Structure 1
Amino acid sequence: MQLNVERGAPATGKTIRLRQIAQADGQRERQILVGRHSTTDALELSVWRLADRGANVICIDECSEEQIARLQVLQRRLPGNLTIHAVVAN
């Protein structure tokens, strides 16, 4: 699994770029996961479910640093063809 994390100040275009990535993969905006709407455990479960369904790209907006740390741990156990794009607002 490849994990791409974009960090930066609010209103710098991170979410817009994330939406463009999702759209290029054929995803609708509502398919983007939102970290602040989930606990770290719930976000991990959502990622596992999408990976089990064969997702190649997962987009996550508004992640916490704790959630990013969990994704980094998962990196070794998720499929190699999976790419996760995650945004963290500083």
Structure 2
Amino acid sequence: MQLHISRGAPQTGKTVRLRQTAKNAGINEKNILIGTSYVDRELEAKVLVLALRGLKVICIDECREQQLAFLRRVKSRICNSVTVHVVVAN
């Protein structure tokens, strides 16, 4: 799995860029995962399920640092053809 992380000050366009990435990948905006809606390990499990279902691009907005740690942990369990784009909540 490839993990692309976007960080920065609030209101600098991170979410706008994530939405554009999703659109370019054919992902409906409503299918962008919102990290703050998941307990840390739930997000990890959701990403694993989506990757196993064959998604090649997964977009996550408002991800917490703890969730990012879990995603890094499962990185080796998901094939390299899957790309996860993450915006870290500040």
TM-score class, shorter-chain normalisation, is over 0.9
Cα offset, 1:73, TM superposition = 0.8
TM-score, normalised by the number of residues in structure 2: 0.96
2:7 is paired with a residue whose SS is strand
What residue is the counterpart of 1:50 in the other structure? 50
TM-score, normalised by the number of residues in structure 1: 0.96
Within 5 Å, give how 1:66-77 maps onto structure 2: 66-77=66-77
What residue is the counterpart of 1:36 in the other structure? 36
For 1:74 and 1:49, locate their aligned partners in 2 and report how far apart those are by CA, in whole Å: 12
What residue is the counterpart of 2:20 in the other structure? 20
What residue is the counterpart of 2:4 in the other structure? 4
Structure 1 runs, 4 residues or longer, greater than 3 Å off: none
For 2:74 and 2:24, locate their aligned partners in 1 and report how far apart those are by CA, in whole Å: 25
For 2:44 and 2:70, locate their aligned partners in 1 and report how far apart those are by CA, in whole Å: 8
For 1:16 and 1:85, locate their aligned partners in 2 and report how far apart those are by CA, in whole Å: 12
Contact persistence 1:9–1:89 (CA under 8 A): no
Cα offset, 1:80, TM superposition = 1.2
Count of residues in correspondence between the two structures: 90
Cα offset, 1:46, TM superposition = 0.9
For 1:72 and 1:41, locate their aligned partners in 2 and report how far apart those are by CA, in whole Å: 12
Overall identity of the aligned pairs, in % = 51
Q: Give unmatched runs, 5+ long, in structure 1.
A: none
Cα offset, 1:89, TM superposition = 2.7
